[in-house]
Amino acid sequence: MRYTQNDSTERWNCNADAWHRNFGGEDPNRRDLLDPIIFETLGDIGGKRILDAGCGDGYLSRKLAKRGAVVTAVECSHRMLALALAEEQPDPLSVTYHNGDIASLPFLADRSFDAVVTNNVIQDAADFEGAFREFSRLLQPGGIYLHIVNHPCFSTPVFGWVKDGEGKKLYRKVDRYFERGPFLVPWSPKSGMEPTIAFHRTLGDTVNSLISCGFRLLQLVEPEPPESWSILYPERLDGARIPDFLVLVCKKEKTYV
């Protein structure tokens, strides 16, 4: 089956409440791996105009706003957006939310942002090149695009842990790396989430598209588990032998034309 952006969005509508329950608060991957990189990279964000593209339930938008950023957030799933709005009601932070596809943002003005973040979004978006073109248009020269994604080298159309008879992880299986396009991503049964749809592209596809959209790659990070996990979450360390995430810090040098 050839899945589309609409199929991906529909899956996120169905999964929104389970996502919010599992990852809307203190998730260790967020708290220990990704949030520190986001805030270190963006530095002092007081007064900075930041676009949280694919904001989900607004987890990152709220954190950015609490640190003084002027946050605009875009999300294609209406259910995710409803959760974001509900979270803000008791504690208004002036985040501006839009329902839309990050590959087409005509309601946002050219050069109107200092930074754009996609926090685990692009793998779920059908038109990654369209999104990069929009981010290039929306950023002021020198602005930062922070691209955080499921690592494309280890999350491919065929992937998963090969286990022994007792369930011990032996090694990570990765196949069909060059098979671009949509595939189903299973989630752990205890999350209560139905499979989502990811759109695979290679690391080269992503980096070359960023370059052709006018970005310069400043840094590539593969977040490693902190020491504290050996005491706090020893069960996570086994799975953390392979990076789940890839972070690309990009600077806009010229606008895509």
What residues line the site for ligand SAM (CB under 6 A)?
5, 8-9, 12, 54-56, 59-60, 74-77, 80, 101-103, 119-121, 124-125
Inter-axis angle of helices 59-66 and 78-88, nearest 10: 30
Pair 138, 237: CB distance under 8 Å: no
Name the residue nearer to ligand SAM (CB basis): 56 or 143.
56
Name the residue nearer to ligand SAM (CB basis): 102 or 115.
102
Task: Write down the least CB distance from residue 144 to ligand SAM, Å.
Answer: 17
Q: Which residue in the shown chain puts its C-beta closest to ligand SAM?
A: 56
Name the residue nearer to ligand SAM (CB basis): 65 or 76.
76
Task: Write down the least CB distance from residue 15 to ligand SAM, Å.
Answer: 8
Name the residue nearer to ligand SAM (CB basis): 41 or 169.
41
Q: Which residues contact 86 (CB under 8 A, 6 or more apart)?
A: none
Task: Write down the least CB distance from residue 117 to ligand SAM, Å.
Answer: 8
Closest CA to 123 of 2, 250, 252, 5: 5
Task: Write down the least CB distance from residue 204 to ligand SAM, Å.
Answer: 22
Name the residue nearer to ligand SAM (CB basis): 82 or 169.
82
Contacts of 198-202 spanning 24+ positions with Cβ under 8 A:
198/123, 198/124, 198/150, 198/155, 199/8, 199/123, 199/124, 199/125, 199/126, 199/128, 200/123, 200/152, 200/155, 200/156, 200/157, 200/176, 201/128, 201/152, 202/152, 202/177, 202/178
Task: Write down the least CB distance from residue 3 to ligand SAM, Å.
Answer: 12
